Amino acid sequence: MTLLFLTLLIVPLVSPLHLAQSVDPPLKDLLTERELREYQRKPKYRDRIDLFREVFDRRVDLLQRYIQRDQLDETADLLQKISALSHYAGEQSSNAKKDKDLRSSEVKKLEIRLRKLIETINDLQTTVPFEYAEGFENTIRTLEQLRKTLLEQLLGEALVGIRTAGEKGKGDPASLSLHPGGFSLASPPARLQSRDRFTEEEFEKLQLHQKLEKRVEVFLEIAEARLEEIQRRMKGGEWEEEEEEENPLAFHTYWDMVHAYRRAIDGILVNIDEKAIYKTASEKDIRKSLEKLNKQIQVFIPQLEPIKQLAIDRKDEALYRELEEAQEISVVAQKGSLLGLGAPAQ
């Protein structure tokens, strides 16, 4: 999300959502009676992680209803509670010791759900008054930290060395959405095409192809097309027209193309994960998809570093941050595909 700077104001504007407590409320105050009974009845890590996934779903559904009814005070309070819940979920992971628990399907399901919830909250933020932005940003940061913790459990140290010491960049809130491979909780499908920075033709291909292997191919084509166009521009090359067709990416900025690349790779991960976890694709199809991803991602990763240097040369902070996101998701895809194909975790 974009950082919001206030200028020309003598008295600072205090966000209603900036009143976060320094200490999280007790867990019993964050759960319903039924949820608390289930939490107390099931002390095992996997069961509690699964419970937190269900709780997050319910809270974000409630958040949407509050916003639809313009209940902004309730929205502020609920965002703080979601942040606190993410802290409690993170504590569960800190206390878990067994590898089979840390890399269980319950952990993977929660990680997938967090991706979608973060996108939903990003979308919801654009529908409320500007002074409420900080609370959304705080909640998203806590959910992203929880997701990073889960990813490190699942993939070892895959993310180390990818981030800089600074805070993770957020990108443009108007550009964020759930990719066409998942379930949209906040945005109508018609908006996905422009928000993901996919072309109309690419979006139609994704809608047309429901088989996992073919969808992965389309996502890889989207990612490859962006890297090729970026390289062409960096080298000052001319667009080679085929059958007098215009360049479909002619009006896409560098940021647009890196964003589309990142969304395409993330789309692959979510599609493969969901098919594997919910057993809606054969093992053969999943393996073929992983092989294609692993082969291409090794080609893609080296092409990202020169683009980062371009961002530095242009002093383009937004592009640089998007590049960091793209590099991170690419490394996760590389490590994840290797693990899926049977390589030992590192």
Domain boundaries, the chain: 16-155, 173-239+247-340
Is residue 304 within a helix (H) or strand (E), and if so which, with residue range? helix 283-313
What are 167's two structure tokens?
């805070």
Side-chain-side CA neighbours of 82 within 13 Å: the count stands at 32
Closest CA to 79 of 134, 36, 40, 27: 134
Per-residue pLDDT 10s for the chain (346 aa) are: 333 322 323 233 334 444 344 589 999 999 999 999 999 999 999 999 999 999 999 999 999 999 998 999 999 999 999 999 999 999 998 888 888 888 888 998 898 889 889 888 988 988 889 888 899 999 999 999 999 888 888 876 544 444 433 334 433 333 323 333 333 333 333 444 456 789 889 988 988 888 999 999 999 999 999 999 999 999 887 776 654 478 889 889 999 999 999 999 998 998 998 888 878 889 999 999 999 999 999 999 999 999 999 999 999 999 999 999 899 999 989 998 998 888 655 5
* Integer Cα distance of 143 and 56 in angstroms: 10
In eight-state DSSP terms, residue 156 is S
Distance CA 266, CA 121 (A): 17
Residue among 242, 221, 208 at smallest CA distance from 293: 221
Query: Which residues, including other chains, have CB under 8 Å from residue 15's CB and lie 6 or more apart?
Result: 131, 132, 133, 134, 135
Contacts of 346 (CB under 8 A, 6+ apart): 156, 157, 158, 335
For residue 264 the two structure tokens come to 């395409």
Q: What is the pLDDT of residue 254?
A: 94
Give CA separation, 111 vs 144, 181, 194, 247, in Å: 10, 16, 25, 37
**Gap between the Cα atoms of 56 and 297, Å rounded:** 32
Nearest CA to 253 among 229, 222, 286?
229
